[in-house]
């Protein structure tokens, strides 16, 4: 018998002063049985950082034809493709050909460094690609905010971002790789 996804609910209040975007989103996230809470929370973080009326979660970790998150225009063309983790170079290349902008949020500390060393030459030719390495301590603290029902706030100002719940506030820490 196959394991089922675990459902998480998140009420997210976003104040993005850099993009002049202010909204509340009631989100339902499905955690694939093989997905960690850390990855789930990083998908949620990516949503908060790039929130728009058209940004949506892909079908999941097991679907090769969809991004972790993506934004499509009215003609169904992919404007933004977001991956979380250390995706296969072929997957990133495919995304770069399909989307106007592609962003990868790598996490896992040394794992990201190794992945980047192995794939940098192949990926640096894509001008529409940005790659970030999320700080290991930050992602561990973000993972601790994970609950089946969450109320989170995200504030973005002057290129900095803060995520908070009722008890903690975290400042986003990540390194730009490309």
**What was the pLDDT predicted at 1?**
53
Residues 41-92: tens digit of each pLDDT: 999 999 999 999 999 998 766 667 789 999 999 999 999 999 999 999 999 9
Share of the chain above pLDDT 90, in %: 88
Beta bridge partners of 71: 55, 80
The structural domain count of the chain equals: 1
Residue 99 lies in a domain: yes
For the stretch 112-138, pLDDT in tens is 999 999 999 999 999 999 999 999 999
The whole-number pLDDT of residue 65 equals: 78
* Predicted pLDDT of residue 96: 97
Query: For residue 21, what is the domain's CATH number?
Result: 3.10.640.10
Q: CA triplet 170, 175, 176: central angle to 5 degrees? A: 130
* pLDDT for residue 10 is more than 70: yes
Is 54 within a domain? yes
100 found inside a domain? yes
Question: What is the pLDDT averaged over residues 92-117?
Answer: 95
CA distance 162 to 94: 32
Q: Where are the alpha helices (DSSP H) in the chain?
A: 37-50, 89-98, 110-123, 136-144
Please, are residues 171 and 162 in contact by the beta-carbon 8 Å criterion? yes
Burial of 2 (0-12, 13-18, 19+ CB in 10 A): exposed
pLDDT at 33: 86
How would residue 3 be classed by pLDDT, with cut points 50, 70 and 90? confident
* pLDDT value for 2: 62
Judge whether 21 lies within some domain. Answer: yes
Residue 13: domain span? 7-176
83: in domain: yes
Distance CA 17, CA 159 (A): 9
Of 37, 8, 13, the closest CA to residue 162 belongs to 13
Is residue 2, in this structure, part of any structural domain at all? no
Please check whether residue 1 lies inside any domain of the structure: no
pTM confidence score: 0.94
């Amino acid at each position: 018998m196959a394991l089922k996804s675990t459902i998480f609910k998140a009420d997210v209040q976003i104040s993005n002063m850099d993009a002049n975007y202010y909204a509340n989103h009631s989100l339902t996230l499905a955690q694939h049985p093989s997905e960690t809470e850390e990855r789930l929370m990083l998908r949620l973080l990516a949503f908060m950082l790039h929130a728009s009326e058209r940004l949506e979660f892909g079908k999941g970790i097991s679907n090769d034809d969809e991004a972790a998150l993506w934004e499509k225009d009215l003609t169904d063309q992919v404007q933004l493709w977001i991956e979380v983790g250390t995706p296969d170079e072929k997957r990133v290349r495919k995304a770069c050909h399909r989307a106007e902008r592609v962003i990868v949020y790598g996490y896992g500390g040394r794992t990201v460094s190794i992945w980047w060393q192995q794939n940098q030459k192949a990926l640096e030719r894509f001008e529409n690609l940005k790659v970030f390495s999320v700080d290991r301590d930050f992602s561990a603290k973000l993972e601790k905010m994970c609950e089946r029902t969450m109320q989170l706030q995200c504030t973005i100002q002057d290129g900095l971002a803060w995520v908070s719940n009722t008890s903690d506030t975290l400042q986003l820490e990540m390194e730009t790789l490309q």
